[in-house]
Amino acid sequence: MESVVCPTNPDYGFEFVRRSYSDPIQIPSSGHIFRSQTLRLSWTIEMIWLPHRSWLAARVEGQSSLARLDIGVHVTAPTIHAGFGYKMDEGYPGSPLPLEMWNVGPLDVKLEAGMRVCQRIFEMVDGAPEKGYEGKFSIQGPTPPS
């Protein structure tokens, strides 16, 4: 039986999809084989936060070496808006960047723990926002270590 998901439905919640259709893994020291024709939701090791009222934004770009192997890294929504990862908590390190990674090529590719898969590009924007991004995806990903 085919499952149909409608993200515009007010009852839709990605958390249900994540719990029902995925198994969390941590890349072991021996690596992880990223199979052809699969999708991986991933998070960066590095944390980031951008102040709500900054003139700063950022983009996430995948490594070209992976693109040449037909692996896309966060192609769908590369902009990091002011307010991302920001929490009114002194010492909060920010949030990891969520990455949608997919292998659309014919080859299985070995990913290794800590390998570089993307880069952040910071940009000045023309004007500071009245308020930063405060949507449900502002603070996300694994809980940072204390």
pLDDT grade for 141, boundaries at 50, 70 and 90: low
Between these two residues, 133 and 88, which has the higher pLDDT value?
A: 88
Question: What's the CATH number for 27-124?
Answer: 2.70.40.10
Please give the pLDDT value at position 146.
Answer: 44
The per-residue pLDDT for range 59-79, each reduced to its tens digit, is 999 999 999 999 999 888 888
Q: Which of 100, 123, 127, 126 is nearest to 38 (CA)?
A: 100
Please give the pLDDT value at position 140.
Answer: 57
Query: Exposed (0-12), middle (13-18) or buried (19+): which is 70, by Cβ within 10 Å?
Result: middle
Dihedral sign for Cα atoms in the order 105, 110, 111, 117? negative
Please give the pLDDT value at position 137.
Answer: 57
Please give the pLDDT value at position 15.
Answer: 83
Catalytic residues: 100
Whole-prediction pTM value?
0.74
Please give the pLDDT value at position 144.
Answer: 45
Reading the block at residue 91, the tokens are 């010492």
The per-residue pLDDT for range 13-51, each reduced to its tens digit, is 888 888 887 778 888 989 999 999 999 888 888 999 888
The per-residue pLDDT for range 95-130, each reduced to its tens digit, is 898 899 999 999 999 999 989 999 999 998 887 666
